Amino acid sequence: MLIVDDEPNVCFTLKLIFEQEGFEVTSAGSAAEGIEVLKARRKFDVVLTDLHMEKEDAGLELARRAKELSPPPVLIVLTGYASMHNVRAALDLHVDHFAVKPMELPELLESVRRLAGLRTDARSAGS
């Protein structure tokens, strides 16, 4: 799992929570750093990214790059600044989940577990 958020406390907290849930977590503090991690690692089951970081909608560029991976990861976009424009842009990218901060952590955990499980099941059925 890759977690990308420019708020260090959010990134750290999400990393701890998902590690406690059994996920192997890599984190990045900006969209640019997250894109570099994607280029270097090339495989993540889940990418969870903030939308607004070093610039407005920077998370969408990260999401586009994540969608190019093979196989594509479960893609979750978080934002504290939802608008019709960025919601539509995220939907156009076919993100798997779009959440508004502050989010309920149990709901986020359940969404990640469910989506990651569905993706794993679909990959297993295809082999």
The pTM assigned to this predicted structure is 0.89
- H-helix or E-strand spanning residue 91: helix 84-92
Write the CATH number for 74: 3.40.50.2300
Regarding beta strands 97-100 and 46-50, do their DSSP bridges make them parallel or antiparallel, or are they unpaired?
Answer: unpaired
3-state secondary structure of 68: coil
Neighbouring-strand partners of residue 4: 28, 49
* Cα angle 67-27-60, degrees, rounded to a multiple of 5: 35
Number of domains in the chain: 1
Structural domain boundaries, residue 121: 2-126
d(CA 116, CA 73): 8
One-letter amino acid of 18? F
Segment 74-124, tens digit of pLDDT = 999 998 877 788 888 888 888 999 888 888 899 999 999 999 887 766 666
47: CB partners within 8 A, 6+ apart? 1, 2, 4, 34, 38, 62, 63, 66, 73, 74, 75, 76
Condensed to tens digits (0 to 9), the pLDDT of residues 4-38 reads 999 999 999 999 999 999 999 999 999 999 999 99
For residue 126, is pLDDT > 80? no
